[in-house]
Amino acid sequence: METAQITPFAAIAEFDTPGALVQAAEKVRKAGYSKTDALTPFPVHGIDEALGIPRSHLGYIVLCIGMMGTAAALLLQWWTGAVDYPLVIGGKPLFAFEFSIPVTFELTVLFSSFAAVFGMLALNGLPRFYHPLDNARMTRRVSDDRFVLVIDKSDPKFHPVETIGFLRSLNPISTELVED
Amino acid sequence: MADLAIKPPLAELNPPLVEGNHSYSTVTHTVSGIVERKTPKQWFIAISISGAITLMMLGMIGYLFLNGVGVWGNNSPVGWAWDITNFVFWIGIGHAGTLISAILFLFRQKWRTSINRAAEAMTLFAVACALLFPLIHVGRPWRAYWMFPIPNTDLNMWQNFRSPLLWDVFAVSTYGTVSALFWYVGLLPDLATLRDRARTRIRQLVYGVLSLGWRGSARAWRHYEMAYLILAGLSTPLVLSVHTIVSFDFAVSIIPGWHTTIFPPYFVAGAIFSGFAMVVTLMVIFRYAFQLEDLVTIKHLENMNIVMLATGSIVGYAYATELFIAWYSGNMYEKFAFLNRTTGPYWWAYWTMVSCNVISPQFFWFKKLRRNIPFMFVISIFVNIGMWFERFVIIVTSLHRDFLPSSWGYFRPTFVDVCTFIGTLGFFTTLFLLFVRFLPMIAISEVKGVMPAPGASERGQH
Amino acid sequence: MSSYEIDGALWSRVRNAIAFLLLIGVAASVAGAVTEPERFYRSYLVGFLHPTSILLGALFFVMVMHITGSVWSITVRRFHENLIGALPLVAVALVPVVLGIHHLYEWSHAEEVAHDTLLRGKAAWLNPQGFTIRAFIYVAIWSFFALRLVHHSTAQDSTRSIDNTRSLKKYAAPGLFLGFISVSLASFDWVMSLAPHWYSTMFGVYFYAGGGWASFATLVLICLAFRSAGMLRREINVEHYHDLGKWMFALTVFWTYIAFCQYLLIWYANLPEETIWFRNRFVGGWAPMSVALLFGHFFIPFLVLLPRASKRNLKLLRAAALWFLAMHYLDLYWMVMPTFYKDGPSFHWLDLAPLVAVGSLYALGFWMRLKKHAIMAVGDLRLEQALEHHNL
């Protein structure tokens, strides 16, 4: 068999409905696999619980960087207006919380949004233009209408033949051993 | 709960978000097909017209740069006129896109998925048109970088953070940036779809690079969904803040007709109102042009008309409150400003605004009318016109009769005013045409997420 | 069905308790009205506005939920409906305000108006007859829509007909519009005209934002009370509380937005006729109260409710809801009292009596309705969807 000759990267199985994927994922987790993933065209409800994927911590990153934005905005307005170049305009105080709120708010949102987008990309390891899973025949249709379950080779229970056999028992459309 | 066995007519309460007999793959095909098919002839005709109008706009701007702001009709006492009217008009249009993508997301209004992509694109292009006006009206646009706190040796001082105009710089640029980020994040999975379907090398390369290697992994979706939720949560107050700050440009002053505390929410409601009108205008055209009737259903259009009815009524409430409080205040200047607005030389502008903004959406109380496509198209145009007039009325009628009758005047636009504004319509259309040609105009992966899953019918809708 | 009816013995016990509170509240109020009428009427206005604005907030959200076809709120809707069912009682609670008009409103004194040009100009609106007639028109509008909404929702318990859902939408849309206008005008009449020379177009929105804020807190407290009595534990689960928490959070931000915009615009323009209202609240004992509002009405609720975990922590949510009710009282106190007591707040035992009286009057209205129908909207066609509701 060819399977013996290639270096495997992962064993994958293909399903045609999100429901079938979640059910299969449930069984994979119960069988003791932990280095698992799923490839889906849209976020599938319940897959995180089924595979035991923890909640994202992106929120904390965003909060910290957002607060840096708040601080930067207040410092900027106070230092430029009241310290470095104090100039009375329209009888207004050199610095006051009343007029500094709008810019502070905007910069907080700006910093937070950058943190959300680039934090998300960083956590996902993107951009990444080559991935061994791209070698698989079936992953092309993931962005269309297929739901693929992945068991990574780094899983302690991974075995090229047995894992494929186990995946076959879950009634997928097909299974595949992906080359590294 | 045995007596719940009577099958309730759930279809009316949960109208299908996708009509026709669609599967995941036909949705992919319908939307990507628009980008992959040979470019239709009509598209070339449309873009040549809008491109020509854009060129006219660029010509007008060049003429302005060479000759100065005097080529516009602005003159004492009307120092702000079409320039700021157009700015507020365009930035307001943008608000519907953010409302659909962020606020309706937080409110779990699933019908947003078919229209949010196009609406967000509209936001970006409207913001681009809006940004043009503050930039070109400053007199010396080549010094525009003075608006940002960049250390430099030719200004040698700092920006005035006490000025609402500077708040505007921060608000609008933040808004443009965050909208672009939000839009791009939403596009990622669909760009991956286009990448996977690409047949030519150049398409593979372009969409491959743009999609950043998105693979739809569940571990990635988890961060992605969190990022989307956070961006929605940030964009919601952001969109309110933008038009609030735009309203501050007027309301912090002491000019009667500008200085009134209801301006912030009133401007926000008006912005959403005008933006939804523009979305209806565009979606009616493009759903017809690209046969997207199954994805952008009549129910989607009806919902947008309901939003227009609601926001139009809020705007009407604000007009009425302004009039009432102007009387109630007992302040002679307030009273005069509103008397002058409704019955003065610009009475025609005021009543155009009221008829278009308050009266015309009231037809949408009738279900028949709000599901009638030609009718809603006409009303959406009326609302676009009315909302332009609203900004014109607020700006010009408050300025043209100053406190001293010696400084009274009457503003008339010049051909440069008119052609620049028409030019931005062409600019906006050009950008939108480019968008529908090269990017998926419907959020493919989001629509799939709200479709009933195949094989799930026996479990009931979810 | 039977599981959604309240236990008779429990119901009677609570009814008696509310009735007892009502009696004490009314007796204390009457005693106050006789001994210290001036102080009584002023305190009464605050004590009346607090629970009334909560009912109005509930009215607003029932209608919003119908129009948007909101699913998650179906299991909590009946509590809101029982609250708005008490709106006709506002007509009763309003009587002392009308009786105390001369103690409350400067413009109600003909001799004051006679030598005040501005007030003479406003006399067409600000006069005792107009005030009274308008007040009862407002109550009529609210009661009409509230009772229609309650009627169709409770009728659906047995009919299970989609016609009821359609009717609910039909009443909600114009109700929202007329309700908003009438609440704004009521806030102009009842609160803004306490300082009759001052005006702010935003005031109606400000008043309503506070009421909506407190009405969600009230709803949370009611749901949690039923939960601790062992009812609706599955139907109103942590997912629904999470949503209620989100609303509490969102309205905290909205109230702050409105309050800040109103303040900033007046601060910035710096016109004496407008700034006087805030100046009165920034001097003497009122200054610390203004700061307390900034923290208590915004910073603390904002920071506490920001994390996802706290919206799913029922103990915390209960504490937050109680805090909200207290802060809403402070907000109304801050709106009303500085007109009368320039130097600072002077709390009085009479502040409490009207609050107890009006609050328990509405609570009794709520409680009497509770017995008549199921305690949850069991007839709603999307109830099953609501039970499956899940948050990201």
Q: Read off the CATH number of the domain in which B407 is found.
A: 1.20.1630.10
Picking from B158, B196, B230, the nearest residue to A116 by CB comes out as: B230
For domain A8-55+132-179, which CATH number applies: 3.40.720, 1.10.287, 3.30.450, 3.30.70?
3.30.70
- Each residue of B165-181: pLDDT tens digit? 999 999 999 999 999 99
Q: Chain B partners of C388 at a C-beta cutoff of 8 Å?
A: 462
Residue B152 has pLDDT above 90, yes or no: no
- Scan for tokens 């236990």, then name that residue: C7
Picking from A77, A109, A131, the nearest residue to B238 by CB comes out as: A109
Residue B374 has pLDDT above 60, yes or no: yes
Query: Across the beta sheet with A36-39, what order do the strands follow?
Result: A36-39, A147-152, A8-15, A174-179
φ/ψ (deg, to 5) at A12: -130, 155
Higher pLDDT among residues B337 and B156, named by residue: B337
Q: What chain A residue is nearest to B23 in terms of C-alpha separation?
A: A145
Picking from A45, A59, A98, the nearest residue to C267 by CB comes out as: A98
Strand partners, A8: A179
Please state the domain extents for chain A. 8-55+132-179, 58-124
Query: Is residue B457 in a domain?
Result: no
Q: Shortest Cα distance from C296 to chain B (angstroms)?
A: 21
User: A99, B162: Cβ pair inside 8 Å?
Assistant: yes
What is the C-alpha to C-alpha distance for residues B189 and A126, in angstroms, rounded to an integer? 13
Best mutation target among C256, C260, C263, C271 (most A Cβ atoms within 10 Å) is: C260
Q: Which of residues 5-44 of A touch C (CB under 8 A)?
A: none
Strand partners, A175: A13
Picking from B160, B241, B456, the nearest residue to A19 by CB comes out as: B456
Domain count, chain B: 1
Cα distances (Å, whole numbers) of residue B354 to B92, B309, B317, B318: 18, 14, 11, 11
What would the two tokens of residue B411 be?
């503003």
User: A101, C260: Cβ pair inside 8 Å?
Assistant: yes
User: C263, A98: Cβ pair inside 8 Å?
Assistant: yes
pLDDT at B10: 61
Best mutation target among B18, B215, B239 (most A Cβ atoms within 10 Å) is: B215
Query: Is residue B360 in a domain?
Result: yes
φ/ψ (deg, to 5) at A162: -65, -40
Q: Which of residues 95-124 of A touch C (CB under 8 A)?
A: 98-99, 101
- Each residue of B201-255: pLDDT tens digit? 888 899 989 999 888 888 889 999 999 999 999 999 999 999 999 999 999 999 9
Query: Is residue B156 in a domain?
Result: no
Q: Shortest Cα distance from C33 to chain A (angstroms)?
A: 42
B-C CB pairs within 8 A amount to 104
pLDDT at B2: 36
What is the C-alpha to C-alpha distance for residues B317 and C180, in angstroms, rounded to an integer? 9
What is the C-alpha to C-alpha distance for residues B11 and B146, in angstroms, rounded to an integer? 57
pLDDT at B9: 56
- Each residue of A11-41: pLDDT tens digit? 888 888 888 888 888 888 888 888 888 888 8
- Mean pLDDT of chain B, nearest integer: 88
Is A78 within 8 Å of chain B by CB? no
What is the C-alpha to C-alpha distance for residues B89 and B243, in angstroms, rounded to an integer? 11
A-C CB pairs within 8 A amount to 12
Q: Which of A83-87, A162-166, C97-101, C235-239 has the lowest mean pLDDT?
A: A162-166
In tens digits, chain C (392 residues) has pLDDT values of: 346 888 888 899 999 999 999 999 999 999 999 999 999 999 999 999 999 999 999 999 999 999 888 888 888 899 999 999 999 999 999 999 999 999 999 999 988 899 898 999 899 999 999 999 999 999 999 999 999 999 999 998 888 888 888 889 889 989 999 999 999 999 999 999 999 999 999 999 999 999 999 999 999 999 999 999 888 888 888 888 999 999 999 999 999 999 999 999 999 999 999 999 999 999 989 999 999 999 999 999 999 998 888 889 999 999 999 999 999 999 999 999 999 999 888 888 899 999 999 999 999 999 999 888 888 888 888 888 887 766 65
Q: Which of B12-16, B17-21, B413-417, B437-441 has the lowest mean pLDDT?
A: B12-16
Q: Chain A partners of C267 at a C-beta cutoff of 8 Å?
A: 98
Q: What chain A residue is nearest to B163 in terms of C-alpha separation?
A: A99
- Each residue of B262-303: pLDDT tens digit? 999 999 999 999 999 998 998 899 888 888 888 888 888 998
What would the two tokens of residue B335 be?
């009273």
Strand partners, A179: A8
Sign of CA dihedral C178, C179, C180, C184: positive
User: B254, C271: Cβ pair inside 8 Å?
Assistant: yes
Q: Shortest Cα distance from A23 to chain C (angstroms)?
A: 19
Residue B401 has pLDDT above 50, yes or no: yes
User: B25, A144: Cβ pair inside 8 Å?
Assistant: yes
Query: Is residue B367 in a domain?
Result: yes
Instruction: Identify the domain containing residue B125 by its residue range.
Output: 15-144+161-452
Picking from A89, A117, A133, the nearest residue to B162 by CB comes out as: A89
Those chains having 3 or more beta-carbon pairs within 8 angstroms of chain A are: B, C
What would the two tokens of residue C373 be?
């129908």
Q: Which of residues 270-309 of C touch A (CB under 8 A)?
A: 270, 308
What is the C-alpha to C-alpha distance for residues C318 and C86, in angstroms, rounded to an integer? 23
pTM here is 0.91
Q: Chain B partners of C67 at a C-beta cutoff of 8 Å?
A: 306, 310
Q: Shortest Cα distance from B48 to chain A (angstroms)?
A: 34
pLDDT at C390: 67
What is the C-alpha to C-alpha distance for residues B152 and B146, in angstroms, rounded to an integer? 9
User: C383, B6: Cβ pair inside 8 Å?
Assistant: no
Those chains having 3 or more beta-carbon pairs within 8 angstroms of chain B are: A, C
Sign of CA dihedral C214, C218, C221, C223: negative
Q: Chain B partners of A41 at a C-beta cutoff of 8 Å?
A: 24, 28, 189, 193, 216, 444-445, 448
Query: Is residue B49 in a domain?
Result: yes
- Each residue of B319-339: pLDDT tens digit? 999 999 999 998 899 999 999
Complex ipTM, two decimals?
Answer: 0.91
